[in-house]
Amino acid sequence: MNATATSRLVERRTAGGLKQAPRATSSAPVFVRKAPKRLVVSTRATQPNAPRRVGREGERRRGPPGGGRGRGGGRLYGKNLQNGIKGAGSVEEILEMVAESEDFLDHIHTCTAMYKMAKLMQGERRSRGGQNGRDGESRALLEDPRFLILKKSIESQINKFDSWATANLLYSFALMRCNPGFSLLDLLTGHAVSLGSLLSTVDVSNAFWAFSQLKYKPHPDVLHNLWEVAVLNISVADIRSIAGLLESAVKTGHKPSKPSLVTISERILDSWDSVSAREAATVFISFVRLGFVPPPELLDAVDSKMQDNFGEFSNRDVAICLSAFRLAKHKPGERLLAVILRKVNTSFEDFKDRDIVQILYSLAKMNVDPGVKNLDRCANMMVCYPKTCTAEGSLRILEAYVNTGYEPAEEFIALVKQKNKKTNARSGQILRHKF
């Protein structure tokens, strides 16, 4: 048998697949792999009947096909739902998305929806001049079945929320002025406490602010634990967050320890150059209202900042700082007092009623003469517009008359007595004063 015949014998197909074939040059057996029946070579990119590739990405896909929307055109999921919530222009639009995509609502969607709704409602209030709008607006939202979906989503996924999201949910409820119920507030607050040092100072500040707005009073131990975490992370907090934390502590009625307040005051002094006028006023009055007299270095720093940058302090800031100086029993420098009096004398009409009352009263209590002209102008304003003045405001101006030795008009004394029919020891003594 020649070589050609031998080669043909090796390539011959058999029913058994592998066949032992003789070779011309050797007696050793040779095993030949069965050749495929047919080799098809196609120039197309993919075969039309090829099975769909299933991999990790396919396994993670959620929701119905169609680019994020269901066949009805309304159901969203994943990033499309997140972007849809962010781009919504009304609370109603968000609630509709929540209802249509309930099955795909995760903790991120829930937090985003809550915060977006809160900001939209805040914008609507501002457009109405700060008014709450129609009666029962918050109650209607709380009773809306679509809003209940969000509440249930929070409850069922509570352990998935990080520190920022947890504080943000509390903040959102407060911004919407909707108390979701003490059970849910307890759940969110307890989860916040469990996060411990993961909470930042601004997280605790937002939580404290929400507590005050929602009239929710956690156990004192809970407030203490949250406060200590905020102080622990104070070194990496900005001044705005610190000012908000102090102000929120005042509103919640929390009484921080003196060492913690000392730590905060030292942190503020270290960054005093970056403290704005509003932040300085907020920090100063908050310290005093918390029962903490700031160290002399901080008192002098406030005095110097007001002298050097008086134009940056609003009328409200000036009134707050003077009240803080009075409560701290610290009289500011003569130069600063002269600047304040000059502004009052030249721009009296620019001050709001509560601010001018605070300024004149604080000056008189610190044995600084505010001027009989300014007292008379304030008293006349109250007599002309009695509905706009408060009982405490009128009493303070009368007390300023007493402290400075000036005599008020009879009409003003009659107004003060009318406003303060229910007297206490302080008001009774002032009203009985003989001018």
The string of DSSP codes covering 59-119 is HH--S-SSTT--TTS----HHHHHHHHHT--SHHHHHHHHHHTGGG--HHHHHHHHHHHHH
Q: Is 99:91 a contact under the CB 8 Å cutoff?
A: no
Instruction: Give the per-residue pLDDT at 76.
Output: 59
Instruction: Give the per-residue pLDDT at 50.
Output: 40
> In Å, how far from its chain's centre is CA 261?
22
Pairing outcome for strands 19-21 and 30-32: antiparallel
Question: In sequence order, what are the residues at sequence separation of 6 or more whose Cβ sits closer than 8 angstroms to the Cβ of residue 359?
Answer: 318, 319, 322, 340, 344, 351, 370
Report how far residue 397's alpha carbon sits from residue 409's, in angstroms, rounded to the nearest whole number.
12
Instruction: Give the per-residue pLDDT at 77.
Output: 61
* Of 168, 145, 130, 163, nearest in space to 99 by CA: 145
Give the sign of the dihedral formed by CA 321, CA 323, CA 329, CA 330.
positive
Token readout for 250 is 């005042």
> In Å, how far from its chain's centre is CA 327?
29
Report how far residue 183's alpha carbon sits from residue 189's, in angstroms, rounded to the nearest whole number.
10
Give the sign of the dihedral formed by CA 78, CA 82, CA 85, CA 88.
negative
Instruction: Give the per-residue pLDDT at 138.
Output: 80
21 - beta bridge partners?
30
Instruction: Give the per-residue pLDDT at 125.
Output: 86
Q: Is 220:188 a contact under the CB 8 Å cutoff?
A: no
User: Domain ranges in the chain?
Assistant: 1-32, 74-125+139-157, 380-435
Report how far residue 339's alpha carbon sits from residue 305's, in angstroms, rounded to the nearest whole number.
13
Report how far residue 198's alpha carbon sits from residue 128's, in angstroms, rounded to the nearest whole number.
38
* Of 234, 175, 174, 173, nearest in space to 199 by CA: 234
Token readout for 181 is 């119920």
The string of DSSP codes covering 127-196 is HTTS---STTHHHHHHH-HHHHHHHHHHHHTGGG--HHHHHHHHHHHHHHT----HHHHHHHHHHHHHHG
Reduce the DSSP state of residue 275 to 3 states and report it: coil
Residue 377 Cα distances to 100, 316, 370, 386, 409, angstroms: 61, 19, 12, 14, 11
Residue 135 Cα distances to 31, 132, 138, 139, 140, angstroms: 92, 8, 8, 9, 9
Report how far residue 150's alpha carbon sits from residue 106's, in angstroms, rounded to the nearest whole number.
10
Apex 169 CA angle, 75 and 120, nearest 5: 65
13-30 in b/e form (b: 16+ CB < 10 A) is: eeeeeeeebeeeeeeeee
H or E stretch at 32 = strand 30-32
The string of DSSP codes covering 378-426 is HHHHHHH-GGGS-HHHHHHHHHHHHHHT----HHHHHHHHHHT-S--HH
Give every residue of the chain whose pLDDT is below 50, as ranges: 1-73, 134-135
Rounded to two decimals, the pTM is 0.77
> In Å, how far from its chain's centre is CA 86?
17
> In Å, how far from its chain's centre is CA 308?
32
249-252 contact pairs (CB < 8 A, 24+): 249/208, 249/286, 249/290, 250/286, 250/289, 250/290, 251/208, 251/209, 251/212, 252/208, 252/211, 252/212, 252/217, 252/223
Token readout for 273 is 């150059």
Instruction: Give the per-residue pLDDT at 430.
Output: 92
